[in-house]
A and B are shown apart, each in its own frame.
Chain A
Amino acid sequence: MKKIAVDKQKAKKIALNIFYPLLSFAILMAVWAIAAKVKNDAFVLPMPSAVLARFFKLGAEQGFWLSVLATLLRTAICFITSFVLALFLAALSGLFKPMHRVLSPIVSFLRAAPTVAVIFILYSFMRKDSMAIAVGFLIAFPILYSAFYSAIVGVDGDLLKMARLYKVSPTDRIRFIYLPSIADCMFDTGRSTLSLTLKVVIASEMLTNVARSIGDRIQVAYATMEISYLLAWTLIAIVFSFVLEWAVVGLKKLWEVLRCRT
């Protein structure tokens, strides 16, 4: 009886996880279709069906995967670099307060700087493809650093005192107190920052015409005024953004399973 109840609950949860995203997608498509119908100008706003047809044909286009993979690689490089550096510096700042006092204004400055201005400033002295990586790093790093620092200083002080009293080794403190306490923040902030980084990298590629990139394809579509092509590439960016987010969610689940086992 208990097993049946659990199975029913699971089935309900799965159904809801499918139902609501589908409903949300349907509403979005309906609004889009109504807007396109009202505008009645495929040149300005094509019907979703036309864009979706273009979207499904993109995979067969020459250089499609090269553009997508190059953009994803740039995103991965700047995200991983900013993630590791932010975690390292946040940990050091948690240990040495003066370090945080020095870093804090720099991080605030980076966070406040307008993305487009950063792109134009870097444009004059960097290679185009490295520039997309640098811009992504400059956007992702301050967000990740601030979140990691808050999580590290927010670790339960009572537990740390207990660990100090009972002489728990530094490795065990990191493994059993710090990491579980900041893991949620690492995965949740990482997830949202990763998709933001992808968007920023694409914007940077677009503004600086980086060859073999999603940004370049969007720029070409815009220059030739092919709106359905532009929207199809935008959909590609959205789909890969979701894929990256799901990958982080998957990693979080894997971490939770491994943590329970150890």
Chain B
Amino acid sequence: MSDVKIENLKVAYGDNVIFDDFSVDFAEHKISVVLGGSGVGKSTLLNAVAGLLPYGGEIDTGGAEVSYIFQNDRLIPSITVYKNLDLILRGICKDKAERRRRIENMLAALEISELAGKLPRNLSGGQAQRVAMARAYLYPSGVLLLDEPFKALDTALKTRLIKQLIALHERENRTVIFVTHAIDECLLVADEYFVLAENPVRVSLSGEIKADKAARRLDDKELCEVRDVLLKNIASL
């Protein structure tokens, strides 16, 4: 496990500079939520941490592996859910029975055991996203990245998945960077939060939420106060 230190990050798409001299530190074992409007560079930040795009500066994950829940599920369409999960474990665990055990446990933890034999095209959006979550947690990483994973889901399903995410986090205790533009998601899952402002991208506000994640309700006093602070900051950007 490790914290994630970003120092003097520089990312540009051609002449369009997204990050220039950007630094931030995400705490070890915590869920750090990055809030910001559309196009501010939240996904770019995660892609840089995952090493999926070229960047300048330093990103230090302490040598930890990274897993990633993308905005879309990115499941391989031609193979079953089970095979999709097995594929990422093959390089790590040669024992087929052990891989099966791990996959079955993870599917059970997310209450989706019945999906193992299905093809991704036969899954609903919420089911596919839970399989993507299972994949990310099956992969033995120290750092987990989540890019607005609940964006396209209805409120009831979103709440259920957030609870499952919190339960998995408490079990596995990884360093999580969760980007979203939804303040309520931030309030429910964050140990610490960072609000990004653009031109150039910088952290305009950061803070911590101490309340027990598993017991949080959106009308809790602490969460209401944090919401007010966040709304004021976002409105001032």
Question: Using a CB–CB distance below 8 Å, which chain A residues touch chain B?
Answer: 158-159, 161-162, 164-169, 172, 176-177, 180, 259
Contacts and interface: CB of A to CB of B under 8 A. Distances in A.
B78 A180 contact: yes
B70 A172 contact: no
B52 A166 contact: no
A158 B72 contact: yes
A158 B69 CA distance: 12
A174 B236 CA distance: 50
Interface string B72-87: 1010111100010001
Interface of B: 50-52, 66-68, 70, 72, 74, 76-79, 83, 87-88, 90-91, 135, 139
Contacts of A166: 67, 87-88, 135, 139
B88 A168 contact: yes
8 contacts: A165-B66, A166-B67, A168-B88, A176-B83, A176-B87, A177-B76, A180-B77, A180-B78
Given A176-B76, A176-B78, A259-B78, A165 B50 contact: yes
A183 to B, nearest CB: 9
A168 B67 contact: no
Most buried by B among A162, A164, A172, A259: A162
A166 B50 CA distance: 10
Tell me the dominant secondary structure on chain B's binding face: loop
A162 B74 contact: yes
B61 to A, nearest CB: 13
Given A166-B67, A176-B78, A161 B91 contact: no
Nearest to A256: B78
A165 B78 contact: no
4 closest Cβ contacts across the A-B interface? A180-B78, A166-B88, A162-B74, A161-B52
Contacts of A177: 76
A162 B70 contact: yes
Given A165-B50, A176-B83, A177-B76, 18 more contacts: A158-B72, A159-B76, A162-B68, A162-B74, A164-B52, A165-B51, A165-B52, A166-B87, A166-B88, A166-B139, A167-B91, A168-B91, A169-B90, A169-B91, A172-B87, A172-B90, A176-B87, A180-B77
Nearest to A161: B52
Most buried by A among B66, B67, B77, B139: B77
Contacts of B83: 176
Nearest to B50: A165
B89 to A, nearest CB: 9
B50 to A, nearest CB: 6
Nearest to A180: B78
A169 B50 CA distance: 18
Tell me the dominant secondary structure on chain A's binding face: helix
A165 B90 contact: no
A166 to B, nearest CB: 4
Nearest to A259: B78
A92 B67 CA distance: 30
B32 to A, nearest CB: 19
Contacts of A164: 52
Contacts of A167: 88, 91
Contacts of B68: 162, 165
Contacts of B88: 166-168
A86 to B, nearest CB: 23
Contacts of A176: 76, 78-79, 83, 87
A259 to B, nearest CB: 7
A166 B68 CA distance: 9
Contacts of B67: 165-166
Nearest to A168: B87
A167 B66 CA distance: 10
A158 B87 CA distance: 16
A175 to B, nearest CB: 9
A97 B143 CA distance: 34
A178 to B, nearest CB: 11
A108 B78 CA distance: 33
B83 to A, nearest CB: 8
Contacts of A158: 70, 72, 74
B180 to A, nearest CB: 20
A49 B212 CA distance: 88
Nearest to A166: B88
A197 B195 CA distance: 62
Nearest to B80: A260
A177 B67 CA distance: 19
